[in-house]
């Protein structure tokens, strides 16, 4: 449908708690398609959440296969009303975000997660994953609760980094 402009921090929409999706309406289908189109248009994006395109619904799209280091993944996924229902282990991970383009930072995340959700056809699903894909899911689900990775930085003094600019 459309590649949408990314909402950039400190836009207040990024701090909002998103609404649950009760039914798969035409509006939600359009948001899903716009999320996928916007993620695909960005060669470096492995995930995107609805508030990042200005839509305050509990919808995310991920594709961990876009990261060369990610060996175990489930490919491109759309998750509606995702919820982490089980997690295990802790790992430190360096994260970045299209909505916070100038910084990266070290964040503690669960190493393994189980997430229940509805897919793009509104069928109930459960996914279990670990490592990079688990981090991507947690990062994007945080967006739905108005939480950015900079809110989870281990130490603002030592674990927040200005992103390098490449020519």
Distance CA 73, CA 1 (A): 26
Helical H runs in 42-153?
131-144
- Measured from the Cβ of residue 151, the count of other Cβ atoms closer than 10 Å reads 12
Q: Is 140 a catalytic residue?
A: yes
Query: Torsion angle, CA of 111/88/46/144, rounded to 10 degrees?
Result: -140
Please answer whether residues 101 and 8 qualify as being in contact, where contact means their C-beta atoms are separated by less than 8 angstroms: yes
Buried-state track 25-61, b at ≥16 Cβ within 10 A, e below 16: eeebeebbebbbbbbeeeeebbbbbbbbbebebbbbb
Selecting among 55, 95, 133, 140, the annotated active-site residue is 140
- Say how many CA atoms lie within 13 Å of 164 toward its Cβ: 2
Distance CA 98, CA 45 (A): 8
Active site residues: 140
């Amino acid at each position: 449908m459309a590649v949408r402009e990314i909402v950039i921090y400190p836009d207040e929409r990024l701090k909002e708690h998103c609404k649950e999706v009760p039914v798969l309406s035409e509006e939600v289908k359009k948001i899903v398609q716009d999320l996928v189109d916007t993620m695909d248009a960005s060669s470096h994006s492995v995930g995107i959440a609805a508030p990042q395109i200005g839509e305050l619904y509990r919808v995310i799209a991920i594709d961990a296969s876009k990261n060369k280091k990610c060996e175990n993944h489930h490919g491109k996924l759309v998750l509606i009303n995702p919820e982490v229902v089980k997690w295990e282990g802790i790992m430190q991970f360096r994260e970045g975000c299209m909505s916070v383009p100038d910084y990266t930072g070290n964040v503690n995340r669960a190493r393994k997660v189980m997430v229940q959700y509805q897919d793009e056809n509104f069928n109930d699903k459960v996914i279990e994953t670990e490592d990079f894909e688990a981090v991507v899911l947690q990062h994007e689900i945080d967006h739905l609760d108005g939480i950015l990775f900079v809110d989870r930085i281990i130490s603002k003094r030592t674990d927040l980094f200005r992103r390098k600019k490449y020519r």
